[in-house]
Amino acid sequence: MSAAGGQGMGAAVLRKEDRRFLLGKGRYTDDLQLHEQSWAVFVRSPHAHAAIRSIDAAKALAAPGVLAVLTGDDVAADGLGGIPCGWQIKNKDGSVMVEPPHPALAQGKVRHAGDPVAMVIAETKAQAKDAAQLVEVDYDPLPAVAHLPAAVAPGAAQVWDEAPGNVCFDWHLGDAAATDAEFARAARVVALDLVNNRVAPNAIEPRAANGHYDAAEDRYTLYTTSQNPHLIRLLLGAFTLKVPEHKLRVVAPDVGGGFGSKIFHYAEELLVLWASKRVGRPVKWTAERSESFLSDAHGRDHVTHAELALDGDGKFRALRVRTLANLGAYLSTFAPAIPTYLHGTLLSGPYVIPAIYVEVKAIFTHTVPVDAVRGAGRPEATYLLERLVDKAARETGADRVEIRRKNLIQPDQFPYQTPVALQYDVGDYQATLDMALQSIDYGKFAERRAASEKRGKLRGFGISTFIEACGIAPSALVGALGARAGLYEAASLRVHPTGSVTVFTGTHSHGQGHETTFAQLVVEKLGIPFENVEVVHGDTDRIPFGMGTYGSRSAAVGGTAIVKAMDKIVDKGKKVAAHLLEASVADVEFADGKFRVAGTDREKTFAEVAFAAYVPHNYPIETVEPGLEDSSFYDPKNFTFPAGCHAVEVEVDPETGVVDVVDVAIADDVGVIINPMIVDGQAHGGLAHGIGQALYEECVYDPEGQLLSGSFMSYCMPRAADLPMFRVGNHATACTHNLTGIKGVGEMGAIGVPPAVINAVLDALAPLGVETIDMPATPEKVWRAIRAAGGGA
Amino acid sequence: MAPIAPIALTVNGKNHRVDVEPRTLLVELLRENLRLTGTHVGCDTSQCGACTVWVDGKSVKSCSMLAMEADGAEVTTIEGLAENGELHPMQAAFHACHGLQCGFCTPGMVMSAAELVRRTPHPSEGEVRHWLEGNLCRCTGYHNIVRAVLEAAERIAGGPR
């Protein structure tokens, strides 16, 4: 625990950032109104697939207040780059994936409903909206395909000529021969066909972008709803706008949630900057929710066949997985990495499985691009594994808890090398399993089930034991896997003359509370008051560099960069203190905010040393530079591996099919915790997200590629009345390869809980003979499953 | 071009006379004309509740009301809730219970929840959850929002601490 007023590591410090949000003084992108602000509205394709015969903007241009109507031809004429993909995947034969062009505005063809075709800029938003209705686009509709596996069937509509059969890549991982051999001698094989439902991210703040080209300075500024402003600047600079970074400033101010969807470089970010230069005014665009459904990258959308081989003792011997992954019409920034490196590599879960082989075919369809949504690949891996384990228990007559316990990696087996490329550094999976079972009082489940039955309800218990890979990502490792950028993190620390500190972090906070937690890291290390620390993020003009926030990486990677920078500050401070205290540097210790000559009471406070560094009259000026500021780039050595156990109880009404989540108890190992209040909050949000996927949420396309669930009227978001209070427990084992011991927490709920919910639903329905159900387990689906199994009236 | 009409209304105790188009929504008037950007827009189907304000003392989704309908009304937004810099008990409880993360749904949540507690001084957990069905949050799983509303109800019923 910390020295400085209980506001260091491990303290449930209330958040600094709350006050501005509670007063209505947050600064979100749409709140910003620039001098001479103009507005953009996009004309989007109503067709999933069509050739554009012509675009007639004459009426729109003549409408009141219209400044410009821009199309794909203008984008091409001005030489804007296509939206790039950050990851490249190799096929089984070593060739590279198909990487089709992604123009910022459609050129020649549209490939999903919502594909942007034209951009209307006007004095006001209402004028831009009115004029957008007047843009006449002559489409020649073409056959389209939206679903898996229809997109790979012979004769399916083709999204790209260069991708025959709609295959983007055909990837594999693991030892096929060893896996086949294990299956050949297995005592038992359990197989499952699964769908991992397509979901929309739905941060409550819709995406927005405000571009300003300053002609006097020849400089661009973009305000955008981004999780990673530096990454956007990098992609704008190198690929899309193609101007050097010193001419580009990207600001991600307060951002109203991300959940992955605000990682990616979207066309609108490029277009508002480009349009601003063309019209000579700042150009702002804010998505309406229906536009978000048609333009934010979606998540998941896998169709999988999975098989588990067991020996006669119920031990897992091998896993074989064949997945089709829908990538949508274009490759989003991280898209190819999600079903591969964040999915295939996770398939050992927390278990000893001697042989694993996974094949993933990534498929283009005429739908919105699919990329990371909270969990990103790891929920898909966890879901199939935990469904399979439950099925194995059912088919072999084993207890669901005991089959897991028997196959978990033991604490003395770390570091543990899986057959699918990852090496887990540390964990204690038995401890979190026991903790969750105790928390939900598993021993008394039968009594609760009987009580539910008396009320006409079917009660089910479900569990999942899981791992995730977070703290993305070690550059050397992911570079070998195909990333075109390393995912390190940067931090700068400026100690001011009177000893207060400004931290500049390359991560971005859009709900995670970094202004509080990163300040706690500083309080813990430098021993200065919490109030004396300011954390700055989200502005490329203020922060030297950064990779941003996703993959539960901010505390594990960004936090470690901050600690490394502080180590440099302390090292320099010792030299200054040694001079002031007339001692040798080796004799100076730093603790509790004081530099002290070891074994004496001679000391200088952190503030005194800082002051001396900026007013260096009495100073080792020959050997030490004035000033007290340093920075660090930290590239992690490995992923971190948070893990845990999620236990769920549901009650199903057999008459209506309604599933009520009545209890959720989880035990997680997220490594060392900075602020337990914030960690619990992250768990709550992830759980709601995961329960949403399991029971309510789905992006539904008709076979022709029309999105049927394009608003909050038709896409069911979890609401307060749908959820119970959550019991959250933690059992930490410290990450062994970073300075903080932190593993990461942001995605855990969304990863661990969906299979626990479905396993609970199937447990409830088992007496009626229902053996499988796909997410989301809506009342209709549950009701039909009961009827199909011959249960119910 | 749609005709422009003047309306008069009071927002957070201040009188305003504003020219609006007939189609202008109350939330657009607040955000764009009056630059009160604490009231947020999270959807276009009046589902998310981020735009909740009080009109004549009742919570209203300001995206579902025309500005002209607010002619003569008294409107309170999140900016008008704290008094002399002191947080309203509902705001204070959201802070104390970590009832907000990204902060985007927060103004609507607070405005809506404050009305619940005014109507039902001692709500049960179930009543809080049911009342908040018109307000979406993607960050908190509602857990700490519900705790905050229950705590605020206690604070308000128990008088100032």
**If you write DSSP's letter for every residue of A413-482 in order, what string do you get?**
G-SEE-TTS-EE----HHHHHHHHHHHHTGGGHHHHHHHHHHTT-EEEEEEEEEE--BS---HHHHHHHT
Amino acid at A531: E
pLDDT band, residue A1 (cuts 50/70/90): very low
Q: What is the pLDDT of residues A369-390, one digit of tens each?
A: 999 999 999 999 999 999 999 9
Mean pLDDT, rounded, for A425-438: 98
Query: What is this model's ipTM?
Result: 0.97
Selecting from A31, A206, A723 the residue whose C-beta is nearest the C-beta of B42 gives A206
Do the Cβ atoms of B47 and A21 come within 8 Å? no
Residue B160 has a pLDDT of: 47
Q: How confident is the model at residue A323, as a pLDDT? A: 98
Q: What six digits make up the tokens of A10?
A: 């491990």
Do A179 and A356 form a contact (C-beta atoms < 8 A)? yes
- Tell me the three-class secondary structure of A700-749, residue by residue: CECCCCCECCCCCCCCCCCCHHHCCCEEEEECCCCCCCCCCCECCCCCHH
Q: How far is CA B67 from CA A333, B20, B27, in A?
A: 41, 7, 8
Residue A373 in contact with residue A261, Cβ under 8 Å? yes
What's the confidence (pLDDT) of residue A4?
52
Of residues A19, A28, A712, nearest to B45 (C-beta): A712
Return the residue in B101, B111, B128, B145 with the most chain A beta carbons within 10 A, the one to mutate for interface testing: B101
Per-residue pLDDT at A790 exceeds 90: no
Out of A14, A689, A721, closest to residue B130 by CB? A721
Cis peptide before B6 (omega within 30 of 0): no
Contact (CB<8Å) A18/B100: yes
A692 C-beta neighbours (distance < 10 Å), count = 28
Whether A481 has a pLDDT exceeding 80, the answer reads no
pLDDT tens readout for residues A210-251: 999 999 999 999 999 999 999 999 999 999 999 999 999 999
Taking only residues 108 to 127 of chain B, the set having a beta carbon closer than 8 angstroms to any beta carbon of chain A reads 110, 125-126
Question: Taking CB atoms and an 8 Å cutoff, what residues of chain A touch B149?
Answer: none
Show residues of chain A in contact with B42, CB under 8 Å.
204-206, 256, 289
Interface touch A28/B79, C-beta < 8 Å: no
Contact B46, B24 (CB under 8 A): no
Closest CA to A793 of A650, A651, A657, A660: A657
H-run or E-run covering A762: helix A748-765
Dist CA A724 CA A319 (whole Å): 35
Task: Calculate the alpha carbon distances from A328 to A240, A325, A331, A375 in Å.
Answer: 21, 9, 7, 19
B21 chain-A contacts, CB cut-off 8 A: 126
* Residues A423 and A640: beta-carbon distance below 8 Å: no
Compute the C-alpha angle A551/A556/A558, nearest 5°. Answer: 90
Residue A484 has pLDDT above 90, yes or no: no
Inspect the interface and report whether the beta carbons of A721 and B37 lie closer than 8 Å: no
- Whether residues A24 and B107 touch (CB distance < 8 A) is answered with yes
A685·B138 Cβ contact <8 A: yes
Mutate which of B62, B95, B139 to disrupt the A interface (most A C-beta within 10 Å)?
B139
B47 contacts A712? CB cut-off 8 A:
yes
CA closest to B105 among chain A residues: A204
User: Minimal Cα distance from A254: which residue of B?
Assistant: B102
Contact B40 A749 (CB under 8 A): no
Per CB-CB distance under 8 Å, the chain B contacts of A686 are 141
In this prediction, residue A261 has a pLDDT band, given cuts at 50, 70 and 90, of: very high
Q: Which residues in chain B show pLDDT less than 70?
A: 1-2, 159-161
Interface contact B47-A749, CB threshold 8 A: no
Confidence of residue A364 (pLDDT cuts 50, 70, 90): very high
- A680: three-class secondary structure by DSSP: helix
How does pLDDT run across A69-121, given as a tens digit for each residue?
Answer: 999 999 999 999 999 999 999 999 999 999 999 999 999 999 999 999 999 99
Tell me the CA distances in angstroms from A606 to A9, A103, A573, A601, A610, one per residue in order: 19, 53, 8, 15, 6
> In Å, how far is A19's CA from the nearest CA of chain B?
8
| pLDDT tens column, B97-127 | 999 999 999 999 999 999 999 999 999 999 9
Mutation test of the interface with chain B: which of A13, A16, A19, A23, choosing the one with the most B Cβ atoms within 10 A?
Answer: A23
pLDDT at B2: 64
Distance (Å) from the alpha carbon of A288 to chain B's nearest alpha carbon: 6
Distance from CA of A330 to the nearest CA of B (A): 25
* Best mutation target, B23, B34, B37, B143, to test chain A (most A CBs within 10 A): B143
Pick from A24, A513, A723: CB nearest B38: A24
Residue A178: exposure state from Cβ atoms within 10 A (0-12, 13-18, ≥19): middle
How high is the pLDDT of residue A791? 66
Q: Which residues of B touch A510 (CB under 8 A)?
A: 102
Is residue B33 within 8 angstroms of chain A, CB to CB? no
Percent of chain A residues past pLDDT 90, beyond the cut: 96
The reply to whether residue B143 touches residue A26, judged by beta carbons under 8 angstroms, is no
Mean pLDDT of A484-508: 93
Nearest CA among B45, B119, B161, B109 for reference residue A288: B45
Report the pLDDT value the prediction gives residue B161, as an integer from 0 to 100. Answer: 40
Determine whether the interchain pair B82/A26 forms a contact, defined as Cβ–Cβ distance below 8 Å. no
CB pairs under 8 A between A and B: 182
Contact state of B143 with A749 under an 8 Å Cβ cutoff = no
User: B138 in contact with A at a CB cutoff of 8 Å?
Assistant: yes
Residues of A in contact with B43 (CB under 8 A): 288-289, 711-712
Task: Give the pLDDT of residue A2.
Answer: 43
CA distance A189 to chain B (A): 38
Please report residues of A whose CB lies closer than 8 A to that of B105.
204, 256
Q: Which among A674, A677, A666 is positioned nearest to A748, based on CA atoms?
A: A666
Say if residue A5's pLDDT is above 80: no
Is B139 in contact with A723 (Cβ distance < 8 A)? no
Chain B: give the shortest CA distance to residue A322, in Å. Answer: 32
Chain B residues whose CB is inside 8 A of the A290 CB are 44-45
Specify the DSSP element, H or E, that contains B150: helix B143-157
Chain A hits for B76, CB-CB cut-off 8 Å, are: none
Are the beta carbons of B44 and A289 separated by less than 8 Å? Answer: yes
Confidence of residue A470 (pLDDT cuts 50, 70, 90): very high
A709 contacts in chain B (CB < 8 Å): none
The beta-carbon neighbor of B146 closest among A22, A202, A720 is A720
Mean pLDDT calculated for residue range A527-556: 95
- The whole-number average pLDDT for the span A542-570 is 95
Q: Do A205 and B146 touch (CB under 8 A)?
A: no
Interface test mutation site (partner A, options B102, B109, B127, max chain A beta carbons within 10 A): B102
